[in-house]
A and B are shown apart, each in its own frame.
Chain A
Amino acid sequence: MRRLKYAISNLVDVDTLIDVYSEDDVYVMDNLYNGRPSKPYRSTGIGTPGTPEWICVTFPAPRMISLVALFNHNLTMLEGVGDELRFKGCNLGCESPACDWDAGAGMHEVDISGSLIEVEKGDRATFENLYSRTKMREPSYRLDIIDQNNPDGHIEIGEYFLGNWEDFSANCFLQPGRPDSPMYFKGDQRTFMGQDWISYYSKAKEMTLTFVNLNTPDRVNEVEVFLDRVHENGGRVVIIPDRDSKFCFLMKIEDTSGFGLRTLYGEDGEKKTWTIPMKALTTGVMLL
């Protein structure tokens, strides 16, 4: 089975040294890790060949990064000549002259532009989230972006996630068969004669995480530990539906009320399926 992947802790947080090439006055770089994809960071430009927009973070010590994800970004499919989306690691620090981010001295890098997902919806050709699996262990990481056709005139990233992916030993999958389903918030009205007045508010994804064959205490315990960690992370978790999926979501778990029962009855013979509803965090509304 192509297992579902998840990641909980974003290593980019308030204790991380972070710097950016440019920063909007209102949408500041601290928004990169505020847990609200709807409250984003914005650059003031879109990068040009040789002069990318970049986000650089430095940890106190080398940190393993196996998952890079951007949520609620505004990137296009990067079809301009010289466009790029590269994730780079360096062991000398963001500001170190010995770490030549452009020429490549002393660093590893991976092109993650292939993680962009082309979709046909609205006026933008890309899905708002992307992720890439990597394998680096450095103290400093820089994300370089050049998106010369970006109609917004700036790079916008709702949440910048650097962490490590995990999976369950238990069998679990997402429902429905298509891993996500839209959830529309709306306020429709209808006149007594039948005239429709449609008010669209916002949309989000919802899905359910389903575990099966939780027939040993260890497996039940694994799920409980997972839920505890998510709870301590403000209820947020990154979900990758399966290892081959290009989609990823920053979700919040909506309801764990049934978990206690599963713990009690998680003995041999307990084979009923168990679902946990989740909702993707809102992407908010954008006005020009």
Chain B
Amino acid sequence: MATTAIGTNTDMVWQEVYQFETAVLETIDSVLQLINVVNQNDVSDTHQPNLAYGSHRTGPGNTFGSWSVLTRLKGSYFRDDDNLDLPFTAGFYMTIAKELADVPGVLNHRVKRYILNDPQGQTINWNAVSGRYVDGVNLWTQFPYRREGTLELNIIRTSDMEQLLYFPVSELPENYALYWGGFHGGGQHFRVDADSFFDYGFYMWLDGIYVGAGWQVCGGGETIKFSPTIERVKIYYQNPVVNSFDSMKWSIGQNFTMRGKGFTIPEASLDMYGPPPPAWNDRIEKVEFIGKQNQGTFTVTTPFLDYDNDHVTIAAVNMPALPDGTYEIYITKRCDIWGAVRYHCFAGDYRCTDEGQLLQGSRLVLLIGEAGDYPPPEEPIILTEWEITHLDESIFRYLAPIDVRSPDIFYDGYILNVSSLKRAINDRTGLYSVSDMTLDLANNDKEWSKMMAQYIMKNAHVSIFHAWGTEPHGWRTRIHRMIVDDYELEADKFRVFLKDITKKYFELKIPEYFITSEEYPDAHEDAIGKGMSDILGENSLLGTADDPVWGVSSPGSFEAYCIDKTNFYYLASRGSLHAIPEVYSDDVKMATPGDYSVNYRDGGRTYIDFVGDQGDKKITFNAEGYMFGAWNSVNGYIQNPARILRFILMILLHIPVELINMISFDDMADYFEDKGYETSAKFRACEPKKAEEKLSEFLFTFGIKLFPDREGRMSIGIKDKSNYQSDYYIFEQLDCIDPARNMPQLKRAENYVRYKWDEHQAAKLFLKADSKRSELSISDFGDSILEARGSPWKFPYTTNETLVAARVNDELLKRAYGEKWLKIKIPIHKIEDLDIFDNFRFQSLYAPSFTGAGQAGWYYYIIDMEYNWSGNSIIITAVDLGWLMGQCMIIGKFSELTRDWMDANVYQRTFAYIGNCATGTFEDGIPNKKICDCYE
């Protein structure tokens, strides 16, 4: 079953939003909670600390108080009238926890929600709506919103993708998705009204509770209240997206093909919970070539277009006669089901993955003829784009070392000097680093004196691009995104110091929140100032009675802190934990029900509420960590290393989604699942520590490398036997400005390691430890070299012994003979071909080889790239991948190899072709490969 609204459809493009503006609306003395009948006198100005919905009745009669949720997407990334103007469905993913259910025997509850629309002439100051407080009386003098007349009963329980009409109270906390739009059983269909949805958001309120004899409302004196944590919104669009052209240049006689998604969305993929209605007929109407040099607009319409959902081809005979120049391409499609509604996109403004996830792109341009002089001179140009924010407005500046004219942007030639820029991965910790960068700008015309007086440029975004004078502006390559850290003015020179855009996030200490006496006035004095723990994955430290082998005398992975001495409430976690399997009081296991209960309050925080006073006893507990909808493991909470890492970056460190390469995280999640490690990870932030230290520990545990891609987005990856190959060659004689430096890094060698894993916070211990030796290395060196850092390798965030053993094996293979670095300096001309974490093959006449013939194409991967625009070069540091290849007998895939070695290309010749055993050669006399001595 295709499930368009809830997240598995891959025929349409979609994106996820993780930032919201939210508020709680409290009504008093209201007969109904319907938003369009609430009036000013019904709205409370009571402080509401957390998102909540529910109702209460202070006495008999039909008067209620209620809490309802208002949410709107934040930012504008999801909305673009030229590209993303028609959402098809929108799903809100949230964790719902029970806050208070003072209704005897309540089993289920159900909500209604509406997309809001025109505020009837009133406006709301969303900047004043923080999600924790809303002054309903003063801000909303007349209730501003009306509701859209759309269906409101579509709920998915994401753990089993079951469609529900209500939420069972006993399941909570649980992940659910509420959605709008699409098709439904019975032939109903509607689309999300984009203006209402994006401008005004949605409204969610409690519609009723089920006690056992039908749906009802609260009785007199009863209260029921739930706290939703909205995690993300997934929006599907009917707009098409163009990822690429088969050729960026077109000449007469050639077909022209664009590839992407959503050109004609198949009806079958829309079948969610009922048959799709007839006459969907989603189709391309026309393709327009818009000349950037006033060549005019040339249109190709339907009869001359050949297309399916992922490509559009215009046959050569149907291509218009395009004059020389560059062209943007604008696509229009329509779908009959909504009437004469058109959908548009500019090719390249957005790109999408195979799964349909949207990525921000840059507009593609098609080149006809030549872009510059012919024959073309190699003309490298650095281009920079500056976005300075002032009073919610963005001011742009475009700078280069020389005046550069492009069709839509003029780059002022202010740049006098550019320092080098280094992007690197620490191969040991997995963390990345980006060097600071300095730009000197001419201030002869006092442009920057004026800028300094007008704007605070601190944290302004600066994108660095590389372009060639022989190529259209639209073909430029982004190198990195940075922010302004500081600047100084020296008469006619303005010096700007840039730093990596993500650096500020890693300097944050986590956990971010603390127990305060203001928030918890009755807290135990020992609890004040303690961090509110964030917990992920399975964390279990059992007592000896429960686990005779691994049980410990001080069980419980975490410590809970008393925040209410009168009622014996203990805070376990700032978020909603999936479960707390065990609780210990001074190492004595407690029972539930009886000794304690686990409850969720104050916006989903997890509390352990004891029945009796625990005095000064130390309360510890084991935990199953946070949930996050589609990221959960089969156990219902997040356990996959890649998912936990994404949670840390996005939720704990607040890194915006546009700075995360989500695809790489999804790929790595699949990787860990394939390896059988999908439930292997855990994480905790209990005592304040710099995020980069915690991240470094986590990355090392799993061998993950975290690095910025060219778009400045954080990506992750792993080097293993499936990821060392490359078809890209660097030839020392041709490409290296200086001779290559082979650096074994023997002083960094380690051939005997102790290691430990499975760390627990409360007892401050690693539960397990072991050691491993590289006997060959010890024999060669004549000595054992203990781990260089003088302490055992630590894998704190996993309990998986198999994973740890594999990690130790990999690291030891890599380090037992040093780390084998290669350092080369190559011309800037290679700038678009190579990036950090890329593999390449290196040919060197002087590289180590038995015969002295050098190496024809040894494998390396890049951990460090230093761009030197002044020197016109790139310095690359790469790591020898021999430690991976040494684990492989590379036979090759028979179907991909030529039968005769003589016909094999250089790539194929790295595989194990077997020659003549008697002569030890191939037919042409070249020595063949041997597996071992041959038998005649």
Q: Could you tell me which A residues sit within 8 Å of B by CB distance?
A: 26-27, 36, 38-40, 44-46, 121-123, 151-154, 156, 187-193, 195, 197-202, 282, 284-288
Chain A residues with Cβ under 8 A from B380's Cβ? Answer: 187, 199, 201
- Nearest CB in chain B to that of A193: its residue: B733
- A288 and B326 form a contact (CB under 8 A): yes
A190 touches B403 (CB 8 A): no
Compute how far the CA of A39 lies from the CA of B403 in the bound complex, rounded to whole angstroms. 7
Q: Is the interface of B mostly helix, strand, loop or mixed?
A: loop
A123 partner, pick from B374, B377, B473, B871, beta carbons under 8 A: B374
Q: Which residues of chain B in 357-380 are interfacial with respect to chain A, using CB atoms and an 8 Å cutoff?
A: 365, 367, 370-374, 377-380
> Given A26-B408, A153-B295, A288-B367, do A195 and B735 touch, yes or no (CB 8 Å)?
yes
| Interface pick from B409-417, B526-534, B902-910 | B409-417
Binds A, one of B286-294, B656-664, B666-674, B778-786: B286-294
Is A199 a contact of B379 with CB atoms below 8 Å? yes
CB atoms of A288 and B739 under 8 A apart: no
B737–A287 contact, CB under 8 A? no
Q: Decide if A285 touches B827 in the complex (CB within 8 Å).
A: no
Q: With CB as the reference atom, state the residue of chain A lying closest to B736.
A: A191
Is B872 in contact with A38, judged by CB distance below 8 angstroms? no
B403 A284 Cβ-Cβ under 8 A: yes
Q: Mark B800-838, 1 if CB is under 8 A from A, else 0.
A: 000000000000000000000000000111000000000
Query: Provided the pairs A195-B735, A288-B472 are in contact, do residues A38 and B402 lie with their beta carbons within 8 angstroms?
Result: yes
- B920 contacts the other chain (CB 8 A): no
In the bound complex, residues from chain A placing their C-beta under 8 Å from that of B406 are: 286-288
B219 within 8 A of A: no
Closest residue of chain B to A40, judged by CB?
A: B405
Known: A123-B372, A200-B379, A282-B402. 12 other contacts (CB 8 A): A26-B408, A39-B403, A39-B410, A187-B380, A187-B872, A197-B872, A202-B402, A282-B403, A286-B404, A287-B473, A288-B365, A288-B367
- The residue of chain A having its C-beta at the shortest distance from the C-beta of B291 within the complex is A153
The reply to whether the CB of B266 lies closer than 8 angstroms to some CB of chain A is no
Question: Smallest Cβ distance from B472 to chain A, in angstroms?
Answer: 4
Contact yes or no, A153 B412, CB < 8 A:
no
Asked, given contacts A46-B294, A199-B379, whether A193 binds B403 with beta carbons under 8 Å apart, the answer is no
Bound: A110/B404 CA distance, A: 33
Complex CA–CA separation, A47 to B737 (angstroms): 51
Interface residues of B in 392-411 (CB under 8 A from A): 400, 402-410
| B154 interfacial contact with A, CB 8 Å | no
Please state if B292 and A288 are interface contacts (CB–CB under 8 Å): yes
Which residues of A have CB within 8 Å of B372?
123, 286, 288
Contact, CB under 8 Å: A200 / B734 = no
Total interface residues in chain B, CB < 8 Å: 52
Whether B267 is near chain A, meaning CB under 8 Å from some CB there, is no
Q: In the docked arrangement, what's the CA distance between A244 and B265, Å?
A: 69
Asked if A197 contacts B827 (CB within 8 A), the reply is yes
- A27 to B405 CA separation, bound complex (whole angstroms): 9
- Complex Cα distance, B872 from A216, in Å, reads 51
Distance of A198 Cα from B323 Cα, bound (Å): 31
- Residue interface mask B173-212, A partner, CB < 8 A = 1: 0000000000000000000000000000000000000000
Query: In the assembled complex, which residues on chain A have CB atoms less than 8 Å from the CB atom of B732?
Result: 193
Q: Kindly state the separation between the CA atoms of A286 and B405 in the bound complex, as whole angstroms.
A: 5
Residue B653 CB within 8 A of the other chain: no
A284 to B383, CA, bound (A): 13
Q: Give the 4 A-B CB pairs with smallest separation, nearest first.
A: A153-B294, A38-B403, A284-B403, A200-B377
Min CB gap B245→A, angstroms: 16
Is the beta-carbon distance between A285 and B736 smaller than 8 angstroms?
no
Chain B residue contacts of A154, Cβ below 8 A: 293-294
Q: Please determine whether B737 and A189 come into contact, CB atoms closer than 8 angstroms.
A: yes
Q: Which of B325, B379, B403, B472 contacts A151 (CB 8 A)?
A: B325
Distance, CA A151 to CA B737, complexed state (A): 40
Contacts of A193 in B (CB 8 A): 732-734
Q: How far is the CA of A156 from the CA of B405 in the complex (A)?
A: 11
Contact yes or no, A287 B405, CB < 8 A: yes
Bound: A284/B413 CA distance, A? 8
- Chain B's closest residue to A27 (CB) is B410
B728, chain A: closest CB distance, angstroms: 17
B402 surroundings in chain A (CB, below 8 A): 38, 201-202, 282, 284-285
Complex alpha-carbon distance, A201 and B828, angstroms = 13
Do A199 and B378 have beta carbons less than 8 Å apart? yes
Contact check, B404 vs A285: say whether CB atoms are below 8 A apart: yes
- Contact assessment for B293 and A288 in the assembled complex, using a CB-CB cutoff below 8 Å: yes
The CA-CA distance from A286 to B472 in the complex, in Å, is 9
In the complex, residue of chain B having the shortest beta-carbon distance to the beta carbon of A46: B294
Shortest A152–chain B CB gap in Å is: 5
Let me know if B872 and A192 touch, CB within 8 A.
no
Contacts of B261-280 to chain A: CB distance below 8 A: none
26 residue pairs A–B, Cβ–Cβ below 8 Å? A38-B402, A40-B405, A46-B294, A121-B373, A151-B323, A151-B325, A152-B293, A153-B294, A188-B872, A193-B732, A198-B377, A199-B378, A199-B380, A201-B379, A201-B402, A282-B402, A282-B403, A284-B413, A285-B400, A285-B402, A286-B404, A287-B381, A287-B404, A287-B472, A288-B371, A288-B406
**Cβ of B410 and Cβ of A287 under 8 Å apart?**
no
Give the Cβ gap from A254 to chain B, nearest Cβ, in Å: 16
A192 neighbours in B (Cβ, 8 Å)? 736-739
Write the B463-490 contact mask toward A (1 if CB under 8 angstroms, else 0): 0000101011100000000000000000
Nearest to B473 among chain A residues (CB) is A287
Q: How far is the CA of A45 from the CA of B377 in the complex (A)?
A: 29
CB distance from B4 to the nearest CB of A (A): 40
| Chain A residue at smallest Cβ distance from B410 | A26
| Residues on the B chain within 8 Å of A199, using CB | 378-380, 827-829, 872
**Chain A contacts of B294 at CB under 8 A?**
44-46, 152-154
B736 partner residues in chain A, CB cutoff 8 A: 191-192
Interface readout for B702-745 with A: 1 if CB under 8 Å, 0 if not?
A: 00000000000000000000000000000011111111000000
The residue among B292, B828, B872 with the most chain A CB atoms within 10 A of its own CB is B872
In the bound complex, residues from chain B placing their C-beta under 8 Å from that of A36 are: 403
Given contacts A154-B293, A199-B378, A287-B471, contact A191 B734 (CB under 8 A): yes
Residue in B closest to A281 when the chains form the complex, CB atoms:
B403
Complex: A36 Cα to B367 Cα, angstroms: 28
Provide the bound-state CA to CA distance between A202 and B402, in Å: 9
Interface centre among B370, B374, B739, B827 (most CB of A within 10 A): B827
The chain A residue with its CB closest to the CB of B383 is A287
Tell me, in angstroms, the Cα distance from A197 to B292 when the chains sit together. Answer: 32
How near does chain B come to A99, taking the closest CB pair, in angstroms? 29
Q: Closest approach, in angstroms, between the C-beta of B462 and any C-beta of chain A?
A: 20
Query: How many angstroms between the C-alpha atoms of A183 and B128 in the bound complex?
Result: 60
* B29 adjacent to chain A (CB < 8 Å): no
The residue of chain B having its C-beta at the shortest distance from the C-beta of A156 within the complex is B405
The complex places the Cα of A200 from the Cα of B738 at a distance, in Å, of 21
A195 to B730, CA, bound (A): 13
CA of A197 to CA of B380 in the docked complex: distance in angstroms?
Answer: 12
What is the distance, in angstroms, from B351's C-beta to the closest C-beta of chain A? Answer: 22
> Which residues of chain B come closer than 8 Å to A45, judged between CB atoms?
294
Contact between B405 and A285, CB atoms less than 8 A apart: yes
Q: Which chain A residue lies CB-closest to B377?
A: A200
Q: In whole angstroms, what is the CA distance A46 to B403 when docked?
A: 23
- In Å, the complex CA distance between A251 and B737 comes to 37
Asked if B873 is an interface residue, CB under 8 A from chain A, the answer is yes
Residue B324 at the A interface, CB < 8 A? yes
Chain A nearest Cβ from B52, distance in angstroms: 49
- Closest chain-A Cβ to B253's Cβ sits at a distance in Å of 21
B872 vs chain A, min Cβ distance (A): 4
Q: In whole angstroms, how far apart are the Cα atoms of A181 and B413 in the complex?
A: 24
Cα separation A128 to B370 with both chains bound (whole Å): 19
How far is A151 from B373 in the complex, measured between Cα atoms in Å?
13
Using Cβ atoms and an 8 Å threshold, which residues of chain A touch B323? 151
Query: Are B412 and A189 within 8 A (Cβ)?
Result: no
For A194, the closest partner residue in chain B by CB is: B733
Q: Are B733 and A191 in contact (CB under 8 A)?
A: yes
Report A-chain residues with C-beta under 8 Å of the C-beta of B295: 153
Contact B370 A123 (CB under 8 A): yes
Q: Mark B443-474, 1 if CB is under 8 A from A, else 0.
A: 00000000000000000000000010101110
